[in-house]
Amino acid sequence: MPALRTLISAEQIGERVREMGEQIDADYPEGPLYLISILKGSFVFLADLIRTLKRHTVRVEFMGISSYGSAKTSSGQVKVTRDLDLSIEGQHVLIVEDIVDSGVTLSYLTRVLAQRRPRSLEIATLLDKPERRVQPVDVKYVGFEIPDEFVVGYGLDYAEDFRNLSAICILGE
Protein backbone atom coordinates (compact mmCIF):
# COMPACT_ATOMS: atom_id res chain seq x y z
CA MET A 1 0.00 0.00 0.00
CA PRO A 2 1.38 3.46 -0.87
CA ALA A 3 1.70 6.00 1.93
CA LEU A 4 -0.68 8.94 1.70
CA ARG A 5 -0.27 12.02 3.85
CA THR A 6 -2.93 14.75 3.83
CA LEU A 7 -1.50 18.07 2.69
CA ILE A 8 -4.75 20.01 2.19
CA SER A 9 -8.01 18.80 3.71
CA ALA A 10 -11.36 18.70 1.94
CA GLU A 11 -12.58 21.52 4.23
CA GLN A 12 -9.61 23.74 3.38
CA ILE A 13 -10.14 23.10 -0.33
CA GLY A 14 -13.86 23.91 -0.06
CA GLU A 15 -13.21 27.20 1.68
CA ARG A 16 -10.51 28.27 -0.77
CA VAL A 17 -12.55 27.30 -3.84
CA ARG A 18 -15.42 29.45 -2.53
CA GLU A 19 -13.05 32.42 -2.17
CA MET A 20 -11.73 31.88 -5.69
CA GLY A 21 -15.29 31.77 -7.03
CA GLU A 22 -16.16 35.04 -5.30
CA GLN A 23 -13.08 36.67 -6.78
CA ILE A 24 -13.88 35.40 -10.27
CA ASP A 25 -17.50 36.57 -10.00
CA ALA A 26 -16.30 40.01 -8.93
CA ASP A 27 -13.66 40.28 -11.68
CA TYR A 28 -15.78 39.42 -14.71
CA PRO A 29 -18.62 41.51 -16.11
CA GLU A 30 -22.06 40.00 -16.68
CA GLY A 31 -22.22 37.91 -19.81
CA PRO A 32 -20.69 34.65 -20.94
CA LEU A 33 -17.59 33.35 -19.21
CA TYR A 34 -16.01 30.28 -20.80
CA LEU A 35 -14.28 27.95 -18.37
CA ILE A 36 -11.96 25.64 -20.22
CA SER A 37 -11.16 22.60 -18.14
CA ILE A 38 -8.01 20.71 -18.94
CA LEU A 39 -8.69 16.98 -18.78
CA LYS A 40 -8.56 15.01 -16.79
CA GLY A 41 -7.11 16.35 -13.55
CA SER A 42 -9.18 19.53 -13.27
CA PHE A 43 -12.66 18.01 -13.47
CA VAL A 44 -13.24 17.89 -9.70
CA PHE A 45 -12.02 21.46 -9.19
CA LEU A 46 -14.16 22.61 -12.12
CA ALA A 47 -17.27 20.91 -10.73
CA ASP A 48 -16.86 22.62 -7.35
CA LEU A 49 -15.77 25.98 -8.78
CA ILE A 50 -18.73 26.45 -11.13
CA ARG A 51 -21.16 25.87 -8.28
CA THR A 52 -19.65 28.77 -6.31
CA LEU A 53 -20.30 31.22 -9.15
CA LYS A 54 -23.46 33.32 -8.95
CA ARG A 55 -23.72 34.21 -12.63
CA HIS A 56 -25.97 32.15 -14.89
CA THR A 57 -23.74 32.48 -17.91
CA VAL A 58 -20.88 30.15 -17.10
CA ARG A 59 -20.08 27.88 -19.98
CA VAL A 60 -17.95 24.80 -19.67
CA GLU A 61 -15.67 23.35 -22.32
CA PHE A 62 -13.03 20.67 -22.15
CA MET A 63 -9.63 20.28 -23.72
CA GLY A 64 -7.27 17.36 -23.66
CA ILE A 65 -3.56 17.97 -23.54
CA SER A 66 -0.92 15.34 -23.37
CA SER A 67 2.67 15.82 -22.44
CA TYR A 68 4.59 12.80 -23.57
CA GLY A 69 6.01 10.54 -20.93
CA SER A 70 4.12 9.47 -17.86
CA ALA A 71 5.40 8.87 -14.34
CA LYS A 72 5.81 11.92 -12.19
CA THR A 73 7.18 14.53 -14.58
CA SER A 74 6.15 15.87 -17.95
CA SER A 75 8.65 15.57 -20.75
CA GLY A 76 8.29 18.99 -22.30
CA GLN A 77 6.56 17.80 -25.49
CA VAL A 78 2.96 18.91 -25.50
CA LYS A 79 0.09 18.33 -27.89
CA VAL A 80 -3.65 18.91 -28.01
CA THR A 81 -5.45 15.54 -27.93
CA ARG A 82 -9.00 16.93 -27.69
CA ASP A 83 -9.75 20.38 -29.01
CA LEU A 84 -12.65 22.78 -28.39
CA ASP A 85 -15.52 22.46 -30.80
CA LEU A 86 -16.48 26.12 -30.74
CA SER A 87 -14.86 29.44 -31.43
CA ILE A 88 -13.67 31.50 -28.45
CA GLU A 89 -13.08 34.63 -30.51
CA GLY A 90 -14.22 37.71 -28.60
CA GLN A 91 -15.06 35.71 -25.44
CA HIS A 92 -13.84 35.90 -21.87
CA VAL A 93 -11.92 32.66 -21.35
CA LEU A 94 -10.63 31.22 -18.09
CA ILE A 95 -8.48 28.09 -18.25
CA VAL A 96 -9.12 25.78 -15.28
CA GLU A 97 -6.16 23.59 -14.30
CA ASP A 98 -5.46 21.27 -11.41
CA ILE A 99 -1.79 22.12 -10.95
CA VAL A 100 0.98 24.17 -12.52
CA ASP A 101 4.26 22.36 -12.24
CA SER A 102 6.97 23.03 -14.86
CA GLY A 103 4.59 25.41 -16.65
CA VAL A 104 5.26 23.67 -19.97
CA THR A 105 1.64 22.62 -20.51
CA LEU A 106 0.11 26.00 -19.76
CA SER A 107 2.64 28.11 -21.59
CA TYR A 108 1.93 26.00 -24.68
CA LEU A 109 -1.82 26.12 -24.19
CA THR A 110 -2.00 29.86 -23.61
CA ARG A 111 -0.06 30.40 -26.84
CA VAL A 112 -2.48 28.14 -28.74
CA LEU A 113 -5.60 29.80 -27.30
CA ALA A 114 -4.33 33.38 -27.59
CA GLN A 115 -4.04 32.88 -31.36
CA ARG A 116 -7.83 32.39 -31.42
CA ARG A 117 -8.36 35.97 -30.26
CA PRO A 118 -10.40 35.64 -27.07
CA ARG A 119 -11.45 38.92 -25.47
CA SER A 120 -9.52 37.91 -22.36
CA LEU A 121 -7.53 34.82 -21.40
CA GLU A 122 -6.59 33.98 -17.81
CA ILE A 123 -5.70 30.90 -15.78
CA ALA A 124 -7.18 29.52 -12.56
CA THR A 125 -5.29 26.67 -10.93
CA LEU A 126 -6.03 24.91 -7.70
CA LEU A 127 -2.37 24.16 -7.00
CA ASP A 128 0.93 25.74 -7.90
CA LYS A 129 4.44 24.37 -7.38
CA PRO A 130 6.45 27.55 -8.04
CA GLU A 131 9.81 25.89 -7.27
CA ARG A 132 9.40 23.60 -10.26
CA ARG A 133 8.78 26.28 -12.89
CA VAL A 134 10.79 25.89 -16.08
CA GLN A 135 8.61 28.05 -18.34
CA PRO A 136 7.01 31.22 -17.00
CA VAL A 137 3.21 31.34 -16.88
CA ASP A 138 1.04 34.20 -15.73
CA VAL A 139 -1.53 32.59 -13.42
CA LYS A 140 -4.25 34.94 -12.19
CA TYR A 141 -6.00 32.69 -9.65
CA VAL A 142 -4.03 30.25 -7.47
CA GLY A 143 -5.72 28.15 -4.81
CA PHE A 144 -2.65 26.97 -2.91
CA GLU A 145 1.09 27.17 -3.40
CA ILE A 146 2.57 23.82 -2.44
CA PRO A 147 6.11 22.49 -1.97
CA ASP A 148 7.87 20.29 -4.50
CA GLU A 149 6.08 17.05 -3.62
CA PHE A 150 4.03 14.75 -5.82
CA VAL A 151 0.39 15.07 -4.82
CA VAL A 152 -2.77 13.13 -5.62
CA GLY A 153 -6.49 13.40 -4.93
CA TYR A 154 -9.28 15.86 -5.74
CA GLY A 155 -8.91 14.91 -9.40
CA LEU A 156 -5.13 14.53 -9.49
CA ASP A 157 -3.80 11.09 -10.25
CA TYR A 158 -0.74 8.95 -10.15
CA ALA A 159 -0.92 6.52 -13.10
CA GLU A 160 -4.72 7.13 -13.19
CA ASP A 161 -5.28 6.19 -9.55
CA PHE A 162 -6.25 8.29 -6.50
CA ARG A 163 -8.43 10.86 -8.33
CA ASN A 164 -11.33 10.09 -5.99
CA LEU A 165 -9.68 11.24 -2.75
CA SER A 166 -11.45 14.29 -1.34
CA ALA A 167 -8.23 15.75 0.10
CA ILE A 168 -4.92 16.61 -1.58
CA CYS A 169 -2.39 14.07 -0.35
CA ILE A 170 1.34 13.62 -0.71
CA LEU A 171 2.11 10.28 -2.28
CA GLY A 172 5.04 8.61 -0.58
CA GLU A 173 6.99 5.53 -1.59
| Residue 124 binding ligand IMP, by CB under 6 A | no
Alpha-carbon span 46 to 126, nearest angstrom: 10
Q: According to the binding rule CB under 5 A, does residue 41 interact with Mg ion?
A: yes
What is the closest distance, in whole angstroms, from the C-beta atom of residue 8 to ligand IMP in the complex?
A: 12
Q: Which of 101, 148, 157, 161 is catalytic?
A: 101
DSSP strands (E only) in the chain:
4-8, 33-39, 58-67, 78-82, 92-100, 120-128, 141-145, 151-152, 168-171
Q: Are 109 and 79 in contact (CB under 8 A)?
A: no
**What 8-state DSSP symbol labels residue 89?**
T
Q: Is 103 in the site for ligand IMP (CB under 6 A)?
A: yes
Quick check: is 157 catalytic? Answer: no
Residue 99 binding ligand IMP, by CB under 6 A? yes
Q: Is 105 one of the binding residues for ligand IMP (CB under 6 A)?
A: yes
Least CB distance to ligand IMP at residue 44 (A): 12
C-alpha angle 100-150-51 in degrees, rounded to nearest 5: 55
Stretch that binds Mg ion, among 7-15, 37-45, 123-131, 159-167 (CB under 5 A): 37-45
Beta bridge partners of 94: 35, 122
Least distance (Å) between residue 113 CB and ligand IMP: 15
Give the Cα-Cα-Cα angle 15, 125, 72 (nearest 5 degrees): 115
**Which segment (6-14, 48-56, 81-89, 151-159) binds ligand IMP by CB under 6 A?**
151-159
Query: Which residues are at the interface with Mg ion (CB under 5 A)?
Result: 41, 98
Residues serving a catalytic function are 101
